[in-house]
Amino acid sequence: MSLDKLAWKLGGLRGALLQGMRNSAHSSLRIHPSVATSIAQDAALEIDGALTFGYPRPGSSQRRYSHAGQLVLGESARLRVLGSVAVCPGTILIVGAGVTLEIGDGTYFAGDSYLVFTCDARIGAGCAFAWWVTILDNDLHTIRSSTGQSTNTPSTIDIGDNVWVGHGVSILKGVTIGPGSIVAARAVVTRGFPNGSVLAGVPASLQRRLEGSWEHDGELLRRPRPEAV
């Protein structure tokens, strides 16, 4: 097994494996001790870089989160991290049985979010997810026709590189969001959109196409807060 790609069969382990940094030159796992974990015996966590789960981002330590977070990997589930990924406190991440979730380099979730995957899914590199985001690829209830057939089956979600998702956004089943897109706060995304889309509303609609690109001002989080007046 190469140092730059570390795959662990977690098998429900906690202790130093889940709570500390691994001794690898290129791969690391850091999960806060207060994060609740439920890991199937045959689930796999593949890290080609670094994953932190349950720790606040720099500059946000004064924020109060609802809880430390929860990580659930079902039977034969696979969470694949390609680069450096941060999942902040209050986030519930569930990867269902037999499902593969891939998350790209530089992506972060600001916290207090609910992420449920029952189908294979991909979240690209360089994505920014604000607080209280919901990503849900199924309805968690079954609706049946008069003949007993399910009419609301789960459907995969694909989020491209460099997508900025605002506060309180919901991304629902079957959605594809093209690279470089922006989703405004509290939008509910129910269908796919192409590259460079600026989305808003309930349900979300295309407001305009982005000319150029957006970037996250990481320094802004580390600047001193202005004095109260």
pLDDT score of 218: 54
Q: What DSSP string runs through 9-41?
A: E-TT--HHHHHS--S-SS-EEEE-TTSEEEE-T
| Model pLDDT, residue 142 | 83
- H helices then E strands: how many in the chain? 1, 21
Residue 128 belongs to some domain of the structure: yes
Do β-strands 114-117 and 28-31 pair in parallel, antiparallel, or remain unpaired?
A: unpaired
Per-residue pLDDT, 212 = 77
Q: Please give the pLDDT value at position 101.
A: 98
| Residue 1 domain-assigned (yes or no) | no
Low-confidence stretches of the chain (pLDDT < 70) are 1-27, 58-63, 217-229
Q: Residue 152 has what pLDDT?
A: 78
- Which CB contacts under 8 angstroms, 24+ apart, belong to 130-133? 130/165, 130/166, 130/167, 130/168, 130/169, 130/185, 131/90, 131/167, 131/168, 132/167, 132/168, 133/109, 133/165, 133/167, 133/168, 133/169, 133/170, 133/171
- Quick one: pLDDT at residue 203? 97
Task: Name the percent of the chain in helix, strand, coil, to the closest 5.
Answer: 5, 35, 60
Q: Is residue 42 included in any domain, yes or no? A: yes
State the pLDDT at residue 3: 32
Q: What is the pLDDT of residue 27?
A: 62
Instruction: Establish if 56 belongs to a structural domain.
Output: yes
Domain assignment present for residue 28? The answer is: yes
* Total domain count, the chain: 1
For residue 183, what is the domain's CATH number?
Answer: 2.160.10.10
Q: How far is CA 111 from CA 154, 169, 205, in A?
A: 25, 13, 25
Q: Which residues pair with 27 in a beta bridge?
A: none
Confidence at residue 60, expressed as pLDDT on a 0 to 100 scale: 60
pLDDT at 222: 44
**Radius of gyration for the chain, computed over Cα atoms and rounded to the nearest angstrom:** 18
Does residue 229 belong to any structural domain of this protein?
A: no
Token pair listed for 126: 């360089």
Q: Identify whether 37 is part of a domain.
A: yes
- On whether residue 114 sits in a domain, the answer given is yes
Question: Nearest to residue 135, comparing CAs of 91, 89, 99, 195?
Answer: 91
pTM: 0.83
- What pLDDT is stored for residue 61 in this prediction? 54
Q: Report how far residue 171's alpha carbon sits from residue 187's, in angstroms, rounded to the nearest whole number.
A: 8
Q: What is the C-alpha to C-alpha distance for residues 181 and 193, in angstroms, rounded to an integer?
A: 9
> Which residues form the domain of 67?
6-142+151-222
